[in-house]
Chains A and B, each alone.
Chain A
């Protein structure tokens, strides 16, 4: 069974530029999560989707971050415009059920904002 796929693996941009990350969850997993992990800290949830609906986006900086999961499968996370403090690893995870159940993580995208 294929795991959670993410791309790109690395991205370097200048501040005020835009960037987008892509995630494809494990086949059949209804719930998809985006996390931000700043160096030295644990992952922090940005947004959670159940199928193509948003369950929780309370910690998503909506003035600059957006995410969508149009067909209930893959998802994109966008930052526009990027700030220096957005430098982090962006992790995508998926789980099978509407509650948390067991989460499986992708390899992450390491973003550096210069």
Chain B
């Protein structure tokens, strides 16, 4: 089945710093989402981005489907950005289900 790897596994930033999180996948995909899991365990949608670039405030994401990766950019990080970031993909072979990546644990220090 499709493999999804995220990097880095852990990241510590000072408030105000910028960061880039990466998601690599081993096969073609139909769908891709980025999620933020906050310290209370809630999975929050960030982007639905099977291809192209999207921006939402301080966050933006780019998926290059032909090269099998997606990037999540966080600018001017805040302490509330802390948590775990997951990407999830649906393989183009039509499994109709998401496979989640390994996650990036982010801690933003005040």
Contacts and interface: CB of A to CB of B under 8 A. Distances in A.
Contacts of A107: 40-42
Contacts of B88: 42-43, 103
Contact of A104 (B41, B45, B98): B45
A14 interface: no
Given A89-B41, A100-B30, A107-B41, A45 B102 contact: no
A100 B97 contact: yes
Given A100-B30, A102-B48, A48 B97 contact: yes
A100 B41 contact: no
B41 A99 contact: no
| Chain A interface mostly | strand
A110 B100 contact: no
Interface residues of B, number: 22
Interface in A98-114: 98-105, 107-108, 110
A107 to B, nearest CB: 5
Interface in B27-84: 30-31, 33, 35, 40-45, 48
A45 B1 CA distance: 14
Contacts of B97: 33, 45, 48, 56, 100
| Interface-central residue, B43, B95, B98, by most chain A CB under 10 Å | B43
B102 A42 contact: yes
Contacts of B42: 105, 107-108
A55 interface: yes
Nearest to A109: B41
A74 B90 CA distance: 24
Interface in A55-82: 55-56
A91 interface: yes
A45 B95 CA distance: 12
Given A41-B103, A105-B45, 9 more contacts: A43-B88, A48-B97, A55-B96, A56-B96, A100-B31, A100-B98, A101-B48, A103-B98, A105-B35
Q: Which are the 7 A-B pairs with shortest beta-carbon distances? A: A42-B100, A105-B43, A102-B48, A100-B90, A100-B31, A45-B97, A108-B41
